[in-house]
Amino acid sequence: MDKATYQEYRQRLAELIKSRALRFGDFKLASGQRSNYFIDGKQVTMCGEGAYLLAHLILAELEGLEVDAVGGMAIGADPIAGAVAAISFAEGRPLEAFIVRKEQKQRGMGDRVAGPMKPGARVAVLEDVVTTGGSTLKAIEALKAEHDVEVIAVIAMVDRLQGARENLAAAGYDLKAIFNVKELGVK
């Protein structure tokens, strides 16, 4: 993707996040923290335009990296992984998609990771919104335990700037965020 198209897609995605996903009030986050704003990423990632734009931006971030599969913790990463896999196939560089369940499945194969994963796969872990990175680290732990994957990239649609980058870096992972909350006019 050329730079102009990247910026055009990014600008439109920011508009969608602000109009569809950003809410103000009193919210409890997955991290347990309280916040005066909430970004409901699914309002963007589960609409056709948002999924399309985000998938293209993620694929641009993955350009030049050897990645076999994309996914992350259910439910935030599910629509993103599906969109990225579909667009990657349409662009002739197909990627598999996976999801990581919050808990081990109690039936069937009893797994936490669903999707066509191969041991040793090179993966990109995706998130809609990150705060402390705790969910991302749990997803990575499950992936490594079940499939011994190599995490090549961690990409979020929005970084709330509340420690995710630092916590992921301490564990050896570099967070790439399409946006941070300041870029969206929050704080």
All structural domains of the chain: 3-180 (3.40.50.2020)
Alpha-carbon distance of 4 to 42, in angstroms, equals 26
Residue spans of beta strands (DSSP E) within 47-169: 69-73, 96-100, 113-114, 122-130, 150-159
Give the predicted TM-score (pTM) of the model: 0.94
Reference 45, options 61, 37, 30, 56; nearest CA is 56
pLDDT of residue 104: 63
C-alpha dist (Å) from residue 6 to 3, 13, 23, 28: 5, 10, 26, 33
* Tokens describing residue 101: 């369940």
Alpha-carbon distance of 162 to 182, in angstroms, equals 12
Q: Write phi, then psi, for 168 (nearest 5 degrees).
A: -70, -40
Residues of the chain with pLDDT under 70: 104-110
Residue spans of beta strands (DSSP E) within the chain: 22-28, 34-39, 69-73, 96-100, 113-114, 122-130, 150-159, 175-180
pLDDT of residue 41: 97
